[in-house]
Chain A
Amino acid sequence: MAVDLKFEAASALHRFGFGPRAGSIAALASDPRGALLAELDRPSIGRISDSDLLTSGEAARAAFDFRQVQRAARLAQRAEREINANAAKNAVPPTVSQAPADQIPSAQPPAMENGGMEAKPNQSAPNANAAPRNPGPGIPQQIYLEEAKVRIDAALSSEIGFVERLVWFWSNHFCVSADKGPVRALCGAYEREAIRAHVLGRFADMLNAVESHPAMLLYLDNARSIGPNSLAGVFRGKGLNENLAREILELHTLGVRTVYTQDDVTRFANVITGWTIFPPRQEPMRGGEFNFNARMHEPGPQKVVNRTYADTGVDQGRAVLSDLARHPATAKHLAQKLARHFIADQPPQALVERLAKRFNDTDGNLKEVAKTLVTSPEAWNAPRSKIKRPGEWIVSALRAMGVTPPDVRPVMQAHNLLGEPLWRPTAPKGFSDENAAWIDGLAQRLDIANQMARRVAALVEPEAVVDAALGPLASAETRQAISRAESRPQALALLLMAPEFQRR
């Protein structure tokens, strides 16, 4: 029996957590289910208490200020160029025209703000017409990296990592993208404020926090959506943007091809007009924070999914969200996604139904749903078929080897290379949770595994890492391949690439 429990402990650490650290398997072996449940009950689990981190409002204002400085520098540069061009026309010696461009201080557009993590070659030629030199990451990128480090550290230092995995799941379900306009500086705060705060709370509360968060309102354009008959709509002749309303129905709650129509999308979009942010330019204290702007809000009642909602201002939208959160289609949609993420691409229907029922019975209590997940027999019987997503695999590899990278950038680069750049999905649907999306990236994982193994081979003993990270999960073939490896780095790379370590 002890052997089975050890096996279950190792399985649970990979399937529900971020993989074992040294000693994890033994620590869980007396009661794997109990350990998962206990993690859910730990006080303030899932929260991050770091007073140095900026709120989304602070981050938005810092990013805004940064862009203002850049813009000023650009304008100054352009003015210099024009002056120089005029001067050149007036037959001033050409050498003079070179000098001022070099004197522009280093506040330049951040090559990385919207361009992702990939370093761009510096422009070294001092040419007045060339793109300005890259001064290094700007404020938004700095905030992004700080938040990324906090997130990775939380995953690395968690006991099992079940709650962190739930955070990652919900964050991906309600994804925003750092590549969209001003969102980069906000994604970390968004995850802390909207996802972590409710990860074991009520789904309705998470939904409300998400859809009214500046990051989401900016990402899916609702900040600019104006009711056609609102004061602003009439005055400015601008109008509705359906983006957020559609994705709430299609992706966040009911699910695609369920109970809503195009008319529901349009009317729901009307409902949430006015859900926007305080413009940083005019609001130095509150800029970037959520604001219900009644002047942008479409007046009148709206019928959404068979129910009519009176115009109660911001509460009209809250009422719709509250009902969407409790709709049976939402329960089914979320249960399916949870089971697919943790258990199998095609999860057992009984499990999906049990999760949906628990969701309905508890008014969307996410902690209770999580408990149901880990106490369901299917969660333990299902074959270990899921290929870890790149981020999960990277974190589990670092945990297995017992190293905490002092610099998060190589970890982010590994995410990028493997196709899962942090907070940068290509579409609002988020990153896929199906094996087919990730299996072809396995060859790239070998290169990453090789690099990681070479960096840490001096610090660890491969056989000890096998015992710590796989224990009873390790097949005889895998153990043999590791013990016969020609070097420690090769042994470690093989371990990180072993099917038992890739799948959960």
Chain B
Amino acid sequence: MPINLHAATRRELFLASGALFAWAYMPKIALAEGRDPRLLVIVLRGALDGLAAVAPVGDPDWVALRGDKALTLDGKTSALPLDSFFALNPAMPNVHRLYKQGQAIFIHAAATPYRERSHFDGQDVLESGVGKPGFTDTGWLNRALSAIEPTGRVDGGRKIFAAGPVTPLVVRGPAPVMSWTPPRLAPASDDTLMRLLDLYRHTDVDLARVLEERIGLAAIARSGGMDANPGQNGAPRPAGVAQVRAYFAETAGAAAKFMVRPDGPRIGALAFDGWDTHADEGVASGRLAALLGALDGAIAVIETEMKSSWRETVVAVVTEFGRTARINGTDGTDHGTATIALLAGGALKGGRVIANWPGLKAAQLHEGRDLKPTIDVRAVIKGVLADHLRINEQALATKVFPDSALLKPMAGLLV
């Protein structure tokens, strides 16, 4: 696979058409301990509905809140139990298996310090590591590299390695970026297509007709047997599921293949789009289930490709914010606040859901509508960076997550 070294200038970012992840060599301290840790960050863009991914089935207000969209242990599609209170979306059997093996941790009711509801700003806060929007030059993962003492090197320096057609902000910064060009570009998602169709229907009927025809043709192509693995209940899968699964798996697999190499990167990042489920969310068998299934598959691919290095690996899955606690008028959820973060990997002391549960009664919701954040997702990341990569707390509090000295790294996440 060709790898290109790019200085992460804005110009180079345009040139780097490829998938990207962050790349760094072993921290000296970890090496001294005989460890060789890997960290892969996956950003879910669009805001994951944390309540649909990990349902608080033990909360007495849960079913009342979501009605027939509430995942339960005894529903038509039963959620997978995690503990006495939480259960996992059934689209994620691999992650459930890892959880049972003590290799996955969910952090619930977590959020960044961002409290507005703009995707762009929310993603910037999540990835820049700065407490407020407007800082888009460098990401926390890149700055974390500057905090790692470089080892005696074969390659000439610290590097960032990133996958995905857009270089995620989280890896941008002074450390050079290595890019990998994936064999396939992410397809224009069905979500984009549907949004465009909606726009055309309201503004330009001729253009709407053309897009409708394309969607019709695509449906015919799919029914022609390309996807031999229909969705649950025999219902046709939402459009493009096979493509999305393939893209997630291919990108994640490529990341893992690089990271497993003895001379390969140790830190990476990639981003998956499509989580903005305003309408027809499809928690149990529709769009969100398909996306969660694709994510589940991607994590399984990483586990497989990492081979024995999986026991030294942490995969951190984060999203810019959560979604409304209640279902909206179009069987979806709107932009919210708290959600989940997911850690997976053999290096974890897993099999736990970490939460300071805020409750789901109306008065307990943030601004009367969103799951209230009770854990700062930066504390989770700081915990991983501190214990996994051995980045010192001073650097974490000033350089990696500026002005976060009062926010202690979450302890005890790792074995």
Contacts and interface: CB of A to CB of B under 8 A. Distances in A.
B14 A477 contact: no
Contacts of B199: 477-478, 481, 494, 498-499
B211 interface: yes
Contacts of B13: 458-459
B17 A458 contact: no
Contacts of B116: none
B175 to A, nearest CB: 16
A475 to B, nearest CB: 6
Contacts of B275: 486
Nearest to B199: A481
Contact of B192 (A456, A484, A494): A494
Given A459-B10, A493-B192, A494-B192, A486 B198 contact: no
- Give the secondary structure class of B's interface: helix
B196 to A, nearest CB: 5
A489 B273 contact: yes
A443 interface: yes
A93 interface: no
A483 B119 CA distance: 9
Residue with the greatest number of chain A CB neighbours at <10 A, chosen from B15, B17, B195? B195
Given A477-B202, A487-B123, A454 B276 contact: no
Contacts of B276: 485-486
B83 interface: no
Nearest to B124: A488
A403 B14 contact: yes
Contacts of B46: 486-487
Interface stretch (A133-141, A205-213, A216-224, A445-453): A445-453
Nearest to A410: B17
A461 B121 CA distance: 11
A499 B204 contact: yes
Given A454-B166, A455-B165, A485-B119, A490 B207 contact: no
Contact of B195 (A443, A485, A489, A502): A485
Given A446-B188, A459-B13, A486 B210 contact: no
Residue with the greatest number of chain B CB neighbours at <10 A, chosen from A405, A439, A455? A455
B193 interface: yes
Contacts of A449: 188
A466 B119 CA distance: 17
Contacts of B185: 450-451, 454
Residue with the greatest number of chain A CB neighbours at <10 A, chosen from B167, B192, B210, B273? B192
A485 to B, nearest CB: 7
A490 B211 contact: no
A283 to B, nearest CB: 44
A499 B192 contact: no
A487 B45 contact: yes
- Give the secondary structure class of A's interface: helix
Nearest to A487: B45
A52 to B, nearest CB: 23
A491 interface: yes
Contacts of B203: 475, 477-478, 498-499
B119 to A, nearest CB: 5
Interface in B182-207: 185-189, 191-193, 195-196, 198-200, 202-204, 206-207
A43 B253 CA distance: 57
Contact of B210 (A440, A450, A491, A494): A440
A440 B202 CA distance: 19
Interface in A455-471: 455-459, 461-462
Interface residues of B, number: 44
A23 interface: no
Contacts of A502: 207
A446 B166 contact: no
B200 A486 contact: no
Nearest to B202: A477
A92 interface: no
A457 B272 CA distance: 14
A138 B196 CA distance: 41
A490 B203 CA distance: 19
Contacts of A485: 119, 195, 276
Contact of B14 (A442, A455, A478, A488): A455
Contacts of A477: 199, 202-203
B294 interface: no
A503 B207 CA distance: 10
A487 B119 contact: yes
Given A439-B207, A454-B185, A489 B166 contact: yes
A405 B214 CA distance: 29
B195 A494 contact: yes
A497 interface: yes
A377 interface: no
Given A403-B14, A487-B123, A457 B166 contact: yes
A406 interface: yes
A341 to B, nearest CB: 19
Nearest to A447: B188
B326 interface: no
Nearest to B120: A488
A500 B204 CA distance: 9
Contacts of B269: none
Given A442-B207, A499-B203, A490 B191 contact: yes
B47 A406 contact: no
A249 B46 CA distance: 58
B87 interface: no
Residue with the greatest number of chain B CB neighbours at <10 A, chosen from A459, A487, A498? A487
B172 interface: yes
A447 B190 CA distance: 11
Contacts of B192: 446, 450, 490, 493-494
Contacts of B15: 406
Contacts of B47: 486
B167 A443 contact: no
B359 interface: no
Contact of B193 (A446, A451, A458, A488): A446
B274 interface: yes
Contacts of A488: 120, 123, 166
A448 to B, nearest CB: 9
Contact of A459 (B14, B123, B202): B14
Interface in A421-449: 439-440, 442-443, 446-447, 449
A486 B166 CA distance: 14
Contact of A454 (B186, B211, B278): B186
B169 interface: yes
Given A443-B213, A489-B166, 13 more contacts: A439-B206, A446-B193, A450-B185, A450-B186, A458-B13, A458-B169, A459-B10, A477-B199, A483-B118, A487-B46, A487-B120, A488-B120, A493-B192
